[in-house]
Structure formats: C-alpha cells, structure tokens
Amino acid sequence: MKFYFPDSQDLVSPTYNFVQDEYSPFRVRQRDDRYAHEVLARAPYHGMLVSKSIVDGSVKGAGKYTSAQRARLYRLGVEKFFRLPDTIESLGDNGAFNYADEQVPPVSVSETLDFYEGCGFTSGVSVDHIIFGYERDHDFETVDPAWAERRLLTLRLAEEFIGQISDQGLRVEPVGAAQGWSPASYADSVRQLQDMGYRRIALGGMVPLKTVDIMDCLAAIDEVRGPETELHLLGVTRVGSMNAFAGYGVTSFDSTSAFRQAFMDDRDNFHTENDSFVALRVPQVDGNPTLRRGILSGQISQKDAIQLERACLKALREFDRSEASLQGALALLADYEVLCQSKKSYGAEYERTLSAAPWTACECTLCRELGIEIAIFRGTERNKRRGFHNLSVLAAKMERLPVRPTQRSNSG
C-alpha cells in the first residue's frame, strides 16, 4: 500500500533556533528549508501529490505558491523542485475541492496536461467534478440530476484526458477519476473508465463517507474491476481498514490528516503507534490574539506575560532533562493557560503527556534531535515538525499491516 502526501508547501528550517525562537538571518526559504523526506531518516511517504489549484490558483483565489515558486516548479520540474529521491513518486491532480461550487470545472483537459507534462509528474489524475452526497440506494433514474451530470461530466473529461495522452504520446501515467453517489454508481464509473483504457483509477468524493460505506462501494467495484486495475483513494486515511481496502484492489491513498492533527486537532496532536497525546500549549506572547488584545488594553502586563511564557518553556526543558518536577511544570502551564484566557483547560491531558513523555521512546529523527520541543504547541516550526513525526508514525503503521492479497474481480 502506497501513501501519497498532498503538498501545501510544508517545510521546516533546519537552522531555526528553538531557544530564541528565531530564524537565521541568512535563511532562504526554498533553498534552505526542508521537506519531511529530507529531515527524517526514512521518507514517511511513497509519493507526493501536488494539486494544480495549489500551484496555479483557482476560482477561490491564489494558490499556496508565490509567482517565483510557481516559475521555479515549471522550470526545474517536480523531482528537482521537491528534491525527491528515486523512491518517491509524484502524482498530480486538479484540486477539485477548490472549484466544487462551480457548475463545471474551470480548467480544461489541455491545461491540466500542460501542468502535468510541464512539471514532469509520474502520474496524473483526470479532470473531475466532486459529488457532495451519498445515497446508497439511489439508482440512476431517481438520483439528483446535478449529481448525475457531474458523474457523466467527469467520465467525458476522463475520456478526453486519456485520448489526448495517447494522441500526443505524453509520458504521464493516466489515472482516471471516478465519482459517484452510491456503490452502483461508483462501480459503473470504474467499469466505463476501464473500457476507456485506464488501469489505475482514483476514487473521489469519499472523504466524508463512513468506512462501511467505502467498503460497500469497493465491494461493488470489485464486481467489475479487472484483475490488473489498481485503485487510489483520494483523501481517505483509515489505517485500521487499509488491509481490508487492499483486498478490493486499493494500492494507494493520500491524506493530510496525520500531519494536520499535529496543530489542528483539539487533542490528538502527538501520535504514537497505539495512542495519541495532547501537545503542550505555550503560545508566543506576540502571536496570541487574546494576549495581544489584553496587553494593548492595559489589562495584561506585557512584561509579566513574557516572564511567564519563558518560565513555562524553561520548566518544560528542565523537566525533560529530569531537572524539574512534573507538578512544577504543570503549575506554570496552568498559570499561563489562565493568562491566555483559554476556553478549555488541558491540565489533566498535560499531566498525561508529560508523564508518558512519548518523544523519549520515539526513534524518529526529529524526536531524537528535539526532545520535548516537538511536543510543544507553539509556532509553525514545532508544529510542522510534530506533523512530520506523525507522518513517520503513519508510515510505520502501514509497514506493520499484514499483507493481504488483492481479490480477483469476477470480471477477471
């Protein structure tokens, strides 16, 4: 099972000073900063997925790339831009979520192929239009006409996509996008894509589905799937079900969930193989909106806030070196939580995190180098490194899954 990590220009600076919380004055971001596959001893993914909307922008506005970064990607190609080793593949797509509200995709097949070929992607997904809805028993006659039209449009664009690749002799591997609203509709999409010549198919629109619904769809697809056809799950991470998914022909998936949980989740910030922990929230005084407002209004002393912030960090570092007590560190965290006017108290969770000290048992490069710093919820450099750590945990979980042979479809 291969895991692809969707790019959103997530890098970290190897020269960042965690004690002073500052960057080197000589830092050049694209030249000096590093991707997850460069800072971890082992790459935590088999491939990177890059969306055209992230690079070129979409109807929702500019993408994540500056004009200079975009030009550099097109000039160097995806392998040199991301400094990819030979073991990491590249997969391009359109980022259909960014134009989901439009009646039709605002990008043509030709524009998409220009992006894939211009950047030198290993594989590319055909242009699709997401169906936001799932009704297991809706047949093709009773379904919402808008859903039906999106599915048919996705299929028409897929036919044009693989046709242009063949006619122009392009190098990119075609990956057909399948959309649907039910097991039967997904299965019919896969059947049609196979008839067009696709042997690798990406299943879209499944992110909000329950695992049981995904399994129902995969079972229906398996009735028509050829034995050589491989499936990719777009945006779906269900590690506990991956072995079952593999039994129905799923060979790859992509997701940012493990990475984003490091700084977006309320509690599951630091992952281990069998558990997860809350990160220790010590926001920067000059970066916390509540503290800034309190300081500007005169309700909070900036000097006192900075002193308490520094005292928290000092106590956590000393605790990590066994030079300070658990209760002392917890008391300072609680005081800073009150000062920040936090809407939630994490006292019990902090005690659990500090008592377990999961970073001390982790073998990943980042945990060994940073110690407790990686468990502190504070600024992009720590938070993204924790996200990279989570990716390494996901990779380890995937490696430990039992190997299950792909079921042969009835059509094989």
Q: Which residues are catalytic?
A: 93, 254
Element (H, E) at 8: none
| Phi, psi torsion values for 34, nearest 5 degrees | -125, 145
CA–CA distance from 412 to each of 187, 226, 227 (Å)? 15, 5, 5
Take residue 89 and report the two structure tokens written for it.
């593949």
Does residue 194 contact residue 224 with C-beta atoms inside 8 Å?
A: yes
Q: How far apart are CA 277 and CA 272, in angstroms?
A: 8
Please report, to the nearest 10 degrees, the dihedral formed by the alpha carbons of residues 259, 362, 402, 198 taken in order.
30
> What is the sign of the dihedral through the CA atoms of 339, 344, 347 and 351?
negative
As a whole number of angstroms, the longest Cα–Cα distance in the chain is 74
Q: How far apart are CA 99 and CA 198, in angstroms?
A: 25
Q: How far apart are CA 17 and CA 310, in angstroms?
A: 15
Q: Is 125 helix (H, G, I), strand (E, B) or coil?
A: strand
Take residue 188 and report the two structure tokens written for it.
């019919």
